A and B are shown apart, each in its own frame.
Chain A
Amino acid sequence: MDEPATLSSLNELVAAVQRGSRAALKRLYELERRRLYGVALRIARRPDVAADALQDAFVQVWQNAASFSPERGDAAAWLTAITRYRALDAVRKLGREVLSDDPTLGDRAEEPDILARLDAVLSRDALRRCLGELEDNQRRCIVLAFVEGLSHAEIARQLAAPLGSVKSWVRRGLVSLRSCLGP
């Protein structure tokens, strides 16, 4: 098992990647691959698509390492963002229908599970408290969108709710989160 990836070691590894160290990129991959692949797989649903997204993400990390500034940033959040956007790109390009035609990857069953695990997973995070202040529908929409990569329309279908309501739940949820979490 890999040693725990502490924030500073991830930041140091990204700094080494910025200096052109392929070994540092490989170490970064070894430390983060399970977490990032999990993030991509949750969004893309299909292992081949998730693997492609993670591959694109690491090529982008190598090419664009200069955009990360260790003294300001959190390397884990930066890596996650790059991976999520690549997975979201794939979902938007291929279409969710193509990706969810496998009945064993059905999403409805996951939802209560995810929301029920919020408290345990976020533990002492300010995000937990602030999500707790949201209305149920607002919280459900934002968590489903971020974790599952669902669009407005897909959330509406999944919750059997009008598209307009979903858009406004997301909006109002984001506004409340913003004022609760601050800058």
Chain B
Amino acid sequence: MIPIDRQELDILAGEYVAGVLDAEAAREVETSLAGNGELREMVAAWERRLHPLTRLAGEAEPPPDLWERIAGRLDASAPPASQRAPNTLALWRWSTFAAAAVAAALALYIALAPPPAGPSLVAVLHPPQGDELAWVATASGDGLRLRPVAAASPPADHAFELWAIAPNSKPQSLGVVPPQGRFDLAVPPPVVRGGTTLALSVEPKTGSPTGQPTGPVVFIGTLVAAD
């Protein structure tokens, strides 16, 4: 049970960061992080508060081949989200369950969507730290549509702002997502194309004051061809 009371929620965040929760309770917190901005901020605050304690662990030398193993995993995968080429959905890193859920949601979404009037792109947005599918964006001749798949609300007095990030480029704002979570853009800018990353950041209600993301990126995904 994820509590609603603020102090109870903060204690749960502290217990999660401290590591005392059993597997089931920890998983419940992780699942809620994507859609619960308040919990996310509380967890981040506990991570900062308790971080000095990690010095107690002491240092140790990892196995000498560990970097090669990491590099091997990276070679087998895609570059980071902002650099990812079109058509690499990098499904390998999703858990089987999440991948199946994404496939099912995509199939459903594409089946329900009106026939595209042009080349069709789709992005599934998930939390940067997690696998849970949270939003689906489609772009076609009819424009760009963003729809929440799971309940996700920004922290109080904040809004989600949608950004398009072409490889090696600065984020470009596509607009502030209305509170009910449905966002449409009839004529998206040229940056909305295959290989571009879409990201939702937490911003003031009227959008980022700087023209660049100022709050944390909470959902992210790359536009790929839908077929």
Given A17-B80, A181-B49, A43:B22 Cβ within 8 A? no
The distance from the CB of A157 to the nearest CB of chain B, in whole angstroms, is: 13
Q: A66-B81, A155-B20 are in contact. Are A76 and B51 (CB under 8 A)?
A: yes
Q: How far is the CA of A47 from the CA of B62 in the complex (A)?
A: 8
**Which of B22, B56, B74, B83 sits near A152, CB closer than 8 Å?**
B22
Stretch at the interface among B10-18, B101-109, B112-120, B176-184: B10-18
**Contact call A72/B47, Cβ cutoff below 8 A:** no
B211 at the interface (CB under 8 A from A): no
Across the interface, A121 reaches (CB within 8 A) one of B10, B19, B56, B213, namely B56
Interface centre among B74, B80, B81, B215 (most CB of A within 10 A): B80
Count of residues in A whose CB is under 8 Å from the partner chain:
74
CA distance A146 to B67 in the complex (A): 26
Which of A50, A114, A170 is B20 in contact with, Cβ under 8 Å? A170
Residues of B in contact with A, size category? 35 or more
Contacts of B157-185 to chain A: CB distance below 8 A:
167-168
In the bound complex, residues from chain B placing their C-beta under 8 Å from that of A153 are 22
Q: Is the CB of A122 within 8 A of B55?
A: yes
| Chain A residues positioned under 8 Å from B93 (CB to CB) | 59, 63
Known: A42-B57, A92-B23. A72 touches B49 (CB 8 A): no
Verify B215–A18 contact, CB threshold 8 A: no
- Establish whether residues B11 and A174, one from each chain, have CB atoms under 8 Å apart when the complex forms: yes
Q: Interface digits, B123-157 against A, CB 8 Å rule (1 contact, 0 not)?
A: 00001110000000000000000000000000000
Instruction: State the total of A-B contacts with C-beta under 8 angstroms.
Output: 189
B197 CB contacts on chain A under 8 angstroms: 66
Chain B residues whose CB sits within 8 angstroms of the CB of A82 once the complex forms: 129
Q: Quick check: B20 and A117 within 8 Å, CB to CB?
A: no
B216→A146 contact, CB < 8 A: no
Q: Which residues of A contact B10 (CB under 8 A)?
A: 174, 178
A17-52 CB contacts (< 8 Å) to partner B: 17-20, 22, 25-26, 29-30, 33-35, 37-39, 41-43, 47, 50-51
Assuming the A-B contacts A65-B80, A142-B18, A143-B56, are A33 and B66 also in contact, with contact meaning beta carbons closer than 8 angstroms in the complex? yes
**Which B residues have a C-beta under 8 Å from some C-beta of A?**
7, 10-11, 14-15, 17-23, 26, 45, 47-63, 66-67, 69-71, 73-74, 77, 79-83, 90, 93, 127-129, 167-168, 197, 199, 213-218, 220
Partner-B contacts on A (CB < 8 A) = 17-20, 22, 25-26, 29-30, 33-35, 37-39, 41-43, 47, 50-51, 54-55, 58-60, 62-67, 69, 71-72, 74, 76-78, 80-82, 84, 88, 92-93, 114, 117-118, 121-122, 125, 127-128, 141-143, 145-147, 149-153, 155, 170-171, 174-175, 177-178, 181, 183
